[in-house]
A and B are shown apart, each in its own frame.
Chain A
Amino acid sequence: MYLPKFDYHRPRSLPEALMMLAKLGNKCKVVAGGTDLMVAMKQRRATPPHLMDLTHIDQLTKIEQTKSGRLKIGTLATLAQVAASSLVQSFSPALAQAAWEAGSPLLRNRGTVGGNILQETRCRYYNQSAGWRKGKDTCLKMDGKVCHINPNGTSCLSTYAGDLAPVLLAEGTTVKIATLRQVEEVPLASLFTGNGLTPVQLKPQALITAIYISPVENGQEKGGIYRKLRSRPSIDFPLVGLAMVWESTLLAGQKTNQIRVAVTGVSSQPHLATGTGAALSGTLPDDGKLAQIQDILRNEVKVIDTGSCPAWYRKEMLGQLLAEAVDKLKSNPIGQGGSMHE
């Protein structure tokens, strides 16, 4: 499968990249690891006239602690680097785990943080070659008129399946976005639209440069876990993925937790399950209460069937993943997000 033709640009620095983007605008797509975009281009789902290769901008690959003590991960840090970083592990064990769970070793060596966050949503009728898609009417995501998942519907139901995003949402991650004119820092959550057609809102002239995770506050202990339900032990996207992050404080002799839960692989955006997180926060739930909270999770999350694993099963499993996350919190609250081999 040959890639379509395009003009190639290789900026050496961030300002150079932003200048090119300002000029080319939406005629240009950026490529880093290529694990999402290259496949899309081979399948003619994306045919940008210009392609900007970010892989030679070294300053964007760094994983470091800022002066104010925050974790800063450059957008071009690879998933392999994030998974192996002891700094990431200390700030967010769930993030290190999610990075390790993504894809396969080969994909993790190329896939970047930015690319993983910004990946296109997926659907069994969309992620197909051009020749395959010829046999069916053009779908909404390809500027056509019909959704093959729900032929009576008018909105695109493609699913967001990135592994990092749920952890990052649960961590309250912020994102630095740069254009030639300005740099701003926004909550990661604000980027996701929930719209399968354009799942992420980012101006064509803008680049994510880094993500930030705040350190744990004094007197708090932090932990987290990412549980990925998958068909096979590698390569695969999550059937569903659940991230849970907790900060524990000792309050009048009792341990109290602030818990945030987020999921991926369910609908057109990664979803912060605020009701579930609130219900879990405070003191740890017993089994009876946990069953209720599992229902809260299943009710506040919409699970759409865009792959080949039925939605009822994935919805059921969300509750199971939550139970396992709670188990982890109970048994090993601090530090380790769980063995890499779970």
Chain B
Amino acid sequence: MSNQPVNLTPQKLVPLEVAVNNRTYLLEIKPNETLLELLRNRLKLTGTKKGCDQGECGCCTVLIDDEPASSCLVLALSTHGRKITTVEALEENGQLHWLQEAFVKHGAIQCGFCTSGMLLVAKSLFERNNSPSRQEIMEAIAGNICRCTGYEKIIEAIWQATNPLGNNTGAQLPKGGELFD
């Protein structure tokens, strides 16, 4: 083991101003830090998960200026001046967001590792389309992998939450079972 000093900041730090969950942070960070690393390691917001670190699974999904993106592929420094939303922003004053409630109610959560990504994509979807069809929901979460649920209850939870019975205008029924008969 070497007794030489350990340089824990071997690169010149660069200033960053970024809003995360409605709070603006002033930071100085290494250029090669990804947004995912910033969120998990620096800000200790561990709700956003690292599933593959290559932008292929969606577990690290956050909203950047309200658009879902894989945070593992985003340089933290490129979020300068931007607004980042993570799953931690959904709950307010101890109350679950209505999407979170829907996920819990409909059994859309099993192991929970893909959940934060799915919730943020659903939130963003609803902001653009306030009564998405089953097909539109499937397409919105197409880049978020879930290995536990087979997607069915996630699709149902999002559909039920965004299309309460009676408000639904022409969207397809979520339960495939009915389509069998």
Contacts and interface: CB of A to CB of B under 8 A. Distances in A.
Contacts of B75: 3, 8, 31, 34, 38, 51, 53
Interface string B1-43: 0000000001110100000000000000011111000000000
Nearest to A51: B31
A5 B30 CA distance: 9
Contact of A7 (B31, B53, B61, B70): B31
B74 A34 contact: yes
B55 interface: yes
B77 A234 contact: no
Interface stretch (B99-107, B137-145, B152-160, B173-181): B137-145
Given A10-B80, A233-B142, A106 B68 contact: yes
A38 B80 contact: no
B77 A10 contact: yes
A110 B69 CA distance: 7
A294 interface: no
Contacts of B11: 5
Nearest to B79: A55
A228 to B, nearest CB: 14
B73 A234 contact: no
Given A53-B78, A80-B67, A234-B143, A35 B73 contact: yes
Interface in B52-69: 53-56, 58, 61, 64, 67-69
A49 to B, nearest CB: 11
B69 A42 contact: no
Interface string B124-150: 000000000001000111111000000
Interface of A: 1-8, 10, 31, 33-35, 38-39, 42, 51, 53, 55-56, 80, 103-107, 109-110, 233-235, 341
22 contacts: A1-B54, A3-B34, A5-B11, A6-B31, A7-B31, A8-B31, A34-B74, A35-B55, A35-B70, A38-B34, A38-B72, A39-B73, A51-B31, A53-B78, A56-B78, A56-B81, A104-B142, A106-B68, A106-B69, A235-B56, A235-B143, A341-B139
Interface of B: 10-12, 14, 30-34, 53-56, 58, 61, 64, 67-70, 72-75, 77-78, 80-81, 121, 135, 139-144
By Cβ-Cβ distance, the 5 closest A-B pairs, closest first, are: A104-B143, A234-B142, A8-B31, A3-B32, A106-B143
